[in-house]
Structure 1
C-alpha cells in the first residue's frame, strides 16, 4: 500500500509502498566523508571492548615488521663475510670464508624469518576476530534500529539504498578493519625502520635515495589526477550500461512486441563503446605508474651503486652494506605507495561508516506503552474521532475525519487515486501516527496498545502480493505460525487455491523463487487470500484483493470472503465498485475527506460523487 494512493510517496527507484577494474588505488575515484574526524572517532568507540587485543595486534605488527627490516642487514653481513674470505684467498692470506660465522648468520636469518611469519599470522588471526566482532556488533545494532524505524522512513527512501548500506557498506568496513589497518601499521613502521637502517649504513646514499622521492610523488600525483577523470567516466558509463541492460531484459516482452530490438542493440553498442573508450584510457594511464616508478627507482639504484662503490673503495662501508642498502632502497617507496593507497581506502570506509551512522541517527517510532489495556476479546468497533493527518506538514491530507464502524460491519472505502483511502489503513494499523485526534478499537485508543498486539488483530490482503522464497505451504502458514497441515489445506480450499496447488509438480512443497514468478499473478493473489483465511483475524482489511484474478474465480473468492467476513469488522478498499455493492457502509473519499457515506443504493439515489464514479465505470458497459 502506498500512502495517499498507489503511486504517492515514491521517492526514487526501488521504493515500495509502506507495509511491505584496473589500476592502482590512487587512480580510483574515492567517496569522501563529510565529517571524517567525527565519523572516525565514532567508529573507534566500537573498538573499546577489544582494546587489549588491538594493543596485542600493534605489538605483533611492530615485532613482525622489525624482524623483516633487520633481515637485509644480516644478508649484507653474510655477503661481507663471503667477500672478505674470497679476497683473502685471492691475495694468498691465511683463513678464508668463515663458514661458522656464516652459518650463525644464516641461522639468525632463518629464525627471524620464521618469527616474523609467526607474528604476522597471529596478528592477522587476532585482527580478523576483532574486525568481525566489531562489524557484527554494528550490524546487529543497525538491524535492530531498522526494526524501530517508522514506515515513513522506508517510504522516503529506495529500498536499494537501504540494502546497499546494510550489505555493501558493512563489507567495506569489515574488509578495511581486517586488512587495511594492519597494512597501514606495517607500512608506517616499515618506512621508519627502513629510513633508520639506511641512515645507519650511509647518510650520503640515503640522501641520494630521498632525492628520488619528490620525483616519484610528482609522477604519481600527475598521472592519478589524469586517470581520475577516466575512472569517473568509466563508472558513469558502466552504471548507464547496467541500467540499459536491466531495463531491456525486464521489459523484454515490450521490446519484442514493439519491434525495438535494433534500437536497443544500437543503444547498447553506443554505451558499450563509451565504456570501452573510458575503460582502456583509465587502465592505460593508471598502468604506466608502475613502469615510471620502476624507472625512477632504477635511477636511484644507479646513484646508490655509484656512491656505494666509492665508499667501499674508501673502506667507509663494507660491500655487504651496499647490497643491504639496495634492498632497503627497493623497500623505501613501497610503504609510501601503500600508505597512499590505504589512505584512499580509509576515506571510502569512513564514508561507508558515515552512511551507516546516518541510519542509526534516524528518528525512531514513538515507543510503545509499557503495558496497555487489554483488547481481547475483540468486538470490532472502530472509531475515527476528529483525525487529522499529513505526510508533509505543509500538505494536509486528512482533515477532521470522523468515522464509526460497528462490530461485524463491512466498510467499503472508495474514491479516486490519492484520495486517502490507503492512508486510513496505514493509520489504523499505526504504520503512521495521527497528527491529532484519535482512533479507537472497542473504545481503547490504539496508541495505548503495543504495535505488535494491535497488528495481530488484523488480517490483510493487498493488491500488491508479497510472497517469500519458500514453499507454498510455508507461505500460507505465515498467516499463523504453528498451524497444522489440515488447517493450511482448509485455508487453501476456502480461498479456491487448493486445486491449482495440487496441479503443480510438488504441490504444497513447490518452492517459490525470489519474485514468485514461477506462478501467475492471480495464483499469487489466491495464496495471500489463503494466508488471510488461516490467520483468522478479528478485523479484516482487503485492498483490491481480487483485482488480479479472473471473473469466474472472483465470484468464488467473493463467496469465500463473505464467509470470512461474517462476524468480523471488515474494511474494503476498492476501485471496482461492483465488488462492494453489498457493503454495510460505503465511505466516499476525496482530497482526504469523507464527502459521502451510505449504502450503495442510497448513494446512487443521491446522484453525488459516488454516482458519478459508478456511472463512469459502467457507462461503457451500458452502451
Structure 2
C-alpha cells in the first residue's frame, strides 16, 4: 500500500518564527568558527571586567595578591634607592660602622622583598588556577547542554581547544599580565618620582628617551607578534597532522603511504623551523637594541651628570659630594625606570593573546542552549510509546529541506522500519524522535503530546538508542553496559547480557565483563562493541527503542544469535529500525520507504514486494548482492 502524502500547513501552538528564536543560530556558529583564526584581540574593558568577575569567589586571595603587588612595586625601587643612599651617606662619609649597619638593613630589605615575591607568585598562580578551574568546569557543563546542531557544525579540535589552549591563555592573562604590569608600572612611577625629586633636568632627558624606546618596542612587538603567531599556527599544523597520522596508521600502512606522509610532515617541520628562525632573528635585533638604548641613556646621564658635578663651582666640598651621591641614586633609579618598559611591552603582547582566548571562551559560553521544550513543558510518567509525525519538515540549514511533509503513526508495540538510499532522511527522522532536534515545521507527538510540551529528561530516559557508531567510554564492559541504567546492580547487568544471548561472548574476553574497553572501545572488535551497546539498551528497558544501522557491525553468525533476543527486546516496545541490510527488517510491522525526505511507500514486507515499487527494487538488489 503506497501512502500518498499531501503538503499540509500544520497550525501549532508554537509558530515557526517563535521556534527559530529558541534555536541555536547557524550565524552564531559561523561567528564562533571565524574567531578560530583570531590569535590576538585589542584590549577590551568588557572582557577584562568579565574575567575579573571570576575572581570574586576568591576575593581574599585576590586582595592579598594586590597587597603583595603594591609592596613589590615599592620594594624594588626602594632597593635601588637604598644602594645609592649607602654610597651617598656612610661610604662618602667614610663611616665603616654605618656602612655595615646600612648594608645589614639592605640585606633585610632584600630578604623581605624575596618573601613578598614568593607570595606574589604563589597567590597569582593560585588565583589563575582558581579562575581556569571554574572556567573549564563551566565550559564543560555548557558543552553537555549544547544541542546536536552545535556538534554537527563544530569540529572536535575547536571544542577541545576552548577548554585547553584558550583557557591557558586566560590563565596567563589573569596570573601574569595584570599583576606583572601593575608591579612594573608601579615601579616606573616610583622610580620616576625619585628621579624627579633628585634632578629635574636629568629627568627631563629621560622623558625624551622613553618615547623612543616605547616606539622601538611597539614596532618590534608587531613584528614579533606576527612571528609568534606564525610559529603557533605552524606548530598546530604539526600536531594536527601528527594526530591524524597516528589515528590513521592502519590506512597508512595498508596503502603504503609512509613516504608520502613523511614528505608532507617534513615540509611542515621545515616551515615551523623557518618561522622559529625568523622569531630568533627579530629577537636578536630587538633585545640588543633595547640594551643599546639603555646604555645610550646611561652615557648621556654620565656626561650631563659629570658636567653638573665637575663643571660647576661648589663653595662647600660636601655639597659636591652630595651631588655625586644624588647622581648615583639617579643612576640606579633610571634602571628601575627603563627595565619595566620591555617587560610591559611583552605583557602587552601576552594580553592580546589572552583577550583572543577570552573572547573565544565567552563567545562559546554565550551561545544559547537551544530550547528543546516550551516553558510550560511538564514531566511525563511512563509513556505508552505511540509516536506520530504530522506534516513534519526539517532543515539543518535554512532553505535546505531534508524532510518534507512526513506523516505516519506508530502505535505502542509496533516495529517500524525506515528504508531508503543514503541521504533519504532516515537518520534525520530518528533524530527527531530522539529529540536531538525539533521539527522546523509540523509536529512530532509522543502519546498524543507534542514533544515540545514534554520535559526532555523525562522523555529521553524512556528511549533506548543503538547507533551504527557504537561509542564506548573508558572503563570496563560492565560499566559501559550499566550506563543504560546507572543504578542497576551487577546481577542485573549480567541478566541483560544473558537475555540478549551474548553473555558467553562477553565472558570470553580476557577479564570477562570487567575487561577494560580502552579508548573508544579500541580493545574490542566492532561486533563486541555492538553487543555491549545492545546490552546497554536491554538494561535501560526503554518504552521506545531506536536501532540505527545497529547490526551493521555484527557478523552473520552473531546477528543470527541475537535475532531471537531482539524479538524479546522489541516485544511490547515501539521500535524504529534503520538498516541497509533488508534481512533485519523483514519482520517489521510496517516499512516506511523514504526518498529525498519524503515517505513514498508504506506497508509490510510482503505488501511492498507485491507492489513492485522502490522497496521491491531495493530488495532485489539485496538478494542479488548476497547470492
Shorter-chain TM-score: what band? 0.7 to 0.9
| C-alpha contact 1:201 1:317 (8 A) present in aligned 2 | no
Q: Please, which runs of 5 or more residues in structure 2 have no aligned partner?
A: 1-25, 27-36, 313-319
Q: Give the equivalent residue in structure 1 for 2:564.
A: 559
Q: Give the equivalent residue in structure 1 for 2:172.
A: 175
- Give, in whole Å, the separation in 1 of the partners of 2:306 and 2:503: 92
Do structure 1's residue 40 and structure 2's residue 48 form an aligned pair? yes
The Cα of 1:420 is off from its aligned counterpart by: 1.2
The DSSP-based 3-state class of the residue aligned with 2:523 is: coil
Q: Give the equivalent residue in structure 1 for 2:92.
A: 84
**Which of 379, 388, 392 is equivalent to 1:387?**
392
**Which of 153, 161, 164 is equivalent to 1:164?**
161
- 1:1-150 correspondence runs (5 A): 31-33=39-41, 36-47=44-55, 54=62, 57-86=65-94, 97-99=95-97, 101-150=98-147
Would you say how many aligned residue pairs link Structure 1 and Structure 2?
584
The Cα of 1:214 is off from its aligned counterpart by: 4.3
The Cα of 1:301 is off from its aligned counterpart by: 2.3
Q: Please, which runs of 5 or more residues in structure 1 have no aligned partner?
A: 1-10, 12-28, 87-96
Q: Give the equivalent residue in structure 2 for 1:251.
A: 248
Give me the TM-score of the superposition, normalised by structure 2. 0.85
The Cα of 1:259 is off from its aligned counterpart by: 2.9
- Give, in whole Å, the separation in 2 of the partners of 1:607 and 1:215: 87
| C-alpha contact 1:73 1:321 (8 A) present in aligned 2 | no
- Give, in whole Å, the separation in 2 of the partners of 1:442 and 1:566: 18
| C-alpha contact 2:88 2:328 (8 A) present in aligned 1 | no
- Give, in whole Å, the separation in 2 of the partners of 1:562 and 1:137: 48
The DSSP-based 3-state class of the residue aligned with 2:521 is: coil
| Pair 333,513 (structure 1): closer, same or farther in 2 beyond 3 Å | farther
Q: Give the equivalent residue in structure 1 for 2:280.
A: 283
**Which of 604, 610, 616 is equivalent to 2:609?**
604
- Give, in whole Å, the separation in 2 of the partners of 1:105 and 1:377: 84
- 1:176-215 correspondence runs (5 A): 176-215=173-212
Q: Give the equivalent residue in structure 2 for 1:481.
A: 486
The DSSP-based 3-state class of the residue aligned with 1:391 is: strand
Q: Give the equivalent residue in structure 1 for 2:11.
A: none
The Cα of 1:135 is off from its aligned counterpart by: 4.3
| Pair 242,56 (structure 1): closer, same or farther in 2 beyond 3 Å | closer
The DSSP-based 3-state class of the residue aligned with 1:481 is: coil
- Give, in whole Å, the separation in 1 of the partners of 2:59 and 2:379: 48
| C-alpha contact 1:82 1:98 (8 A) present in aligned 2 | yes
The Cα of 1:45 is off from its aligned counterpart by: 4.2
- Give, in whole Å, the separation in 2 of the partners of 1:456 and 1:40: 41
The DSSP-based 3-state class of the residue aligned with 1:347 is: helix
- Give, in whole Å, the separation in 2 of the partners of 1:325 and 1:476: 75
Q: Can you list the C-alpha shifts for 1:107-166, whole angstroms capped at 9, x where unaligned?
A: 443443344444444445555554444444444444443344322222221122122112
The DSSP-based 3-state class of the residue aligned with 1:612 is: helix
| C-alpha contact 1:228 1:282 (8 A) present in aligned 2 | no
The DSSP-based 3-state class of the residue aligned with 1:39 is: helix
- Give, in whole Å, the separation in 2 of the partners of 1:206 and 1:325: 9
Do structure 1's residue 366 and structure 2's residue 371 form an aligned pair? yes
| Pair 569,310 (structure 1): closer, same or farther in 2 beyond 3 Å | same
Do structure 1's residue 407 and structure 2's residue 412 form an aligned pair? yes
Do structure 1's residue 154 and structure 2's residue 151 form an aligned pair? yes
- Give, in whole Å, the separation in 2 of the partners of 1:34 and 1:227: 16
| Pair 368,35 (structure 1): closer, same or farther in 2 beyond 3 Å | farther
| C-alpha contact 2:389 2:444 (8 A) present in aligned 1 | yes
- Give, in whole Å, the separation in 1 of the partners of 2:382 and 2:293: 84
- 1:334-373 correspondence runs (5 A): 334-366=339-371, 368=373
Do structure 1's residue 528 and structure 2's residue 525 form an aligned pair? no
The Cα of 1:370 is off from its aligned counterpart by: 7.0
Do structure 1's residue 462 and structure 2's residue 467 form an aligned pair? yes
The DSSP-based 3-state class of the residue aligned with 2:575 is: strand
Greater mean deviation of Cα atoms: 394-403 or 520-529: 394-403
Q: Can you list the C-alpha shifts for 1:317-374, whole angstroms capped at 9, x where unaligned?
A: 4444333333222222221112121122222222222112212322323264677666
Do structure 1's residue 309 and structure 2's residue 306 form an aligned pair? yes
- Give, in whole Å, the separation in 2 of the partners of 1:227 and 1:180: 17
The DSSP-based 3-state class of the residue aligned with 1:595 is: strand
| Pair 251,58 (structure 1): closer, same or farther in 2 beyond 3 Å | closer
The Cα of 1:287 is off from its aligned counterpart by: 2.9
The DSSP-based 3-state class of the residue aligned with 2:41 is: coil
**Which of 580, 583, 593 is equivalent to 2:585?**
580
The DSSP-based 3-state class of the residue aligned with 2:486 is: coil
**Which of 612, 615, 618 is equivalent to 2:620?**
615
Q: Can you list the C-alpha shifts for 1:184-237, whole angstroms capped at 9, x where unaligned?
A: 111111111111122223234334444443443454444444455544443443
Q: Please report the RMSD computed on the Cα atoms of aligned residues, expressed in angstroms.
A: 2.8
| C-alpha contact 2:593 2:602 (8 A) present in aligned 1 | yes
- Give, in whole Å, the separation in 1 of the partners of 2:176 and 2:228: 24
Q: Give the equivalent residue in structure 1 for 2:476.
A: 471
Q: Give the equivalent residue in structure 2 for 1:267.
A: 264
Q: Give the equivalent residue in structure 1 for 2:507.
A: 502
**Which of 546, 551, 558 is equivalent to 1:546?**
551
Q: Give the equivalent residue in structure 2 for 1:94.
A: none
| C-alpha contact 1:438 1:445 (8 A) present in aligned 2 | yes
